[in-house]
Amino acid sequence: MDIFNRQLAIVSEYELLYKPIEGGMKENPTPHTPVETPLDTLERINGLKEAFTELKEDMQHELDAMNSRLIVPATDAKDSIQALKKTIKKREDRKVRHATRIRLLRLQMADQYTSWTTSVTRAGLRN
């Protein structure tokens, strides 16, 4: 919508530039006599301003409709995906922790087995 506001501001500047100057015309210290802006130019500026105002209003309705049909559902989908990503990340972290625990348990069991076989061998109970 910023572009439409800028267009309207430009047309407002044209309007200010070409509108007749009021007051201060009685005492003109220079020999120059000001010429009034032709009426067709003022009418074109007013028509341009009306066209840009109408365009801005029409586009605002279109943008609002687009926002409700596209932007809001896309934002909702993005939020849903974020929740799913968080759940998947937690699940992956749990899998890694579980695998680490299993590896540690296997190492502990291997150490215990090694200790047991060493004890049995020392005791002479093993062949």
Write out the two tokens for 40: 């067709």
Residue 67, number of CB atoms within 10 A of its CB: 11
Q: Domain range spanning residue 9? A: 2-19+36-123
Residue 61 lies in a domain: yes
Has residue 116 got a pLDDT over 90?
A: no
Residue 71 lies in a domain: yes
- Proportion of the chain above pLDDT 90, given as a percent: 30
Residue 110 lies in a domain: yes
Cα 105 from Cα 93, distance rounded (Å): 18
Q: State residue 103's pLDDT score.
A: 92
Note if the pTM is more than 0.75: no
Q: State residue 127's pLDDT score.
A: 53
Provide the number of structural domains found in the chain. 1
Write out the two tokens for 57: 């209003």
Cα 53 from Cα 96, distance rounded (Å): 61
pLDDT in tens, 64-108: 888 889 989 999 999 999 999 999 999 999 999 999 999 999 999
Residue 107 lies in a domain: yes
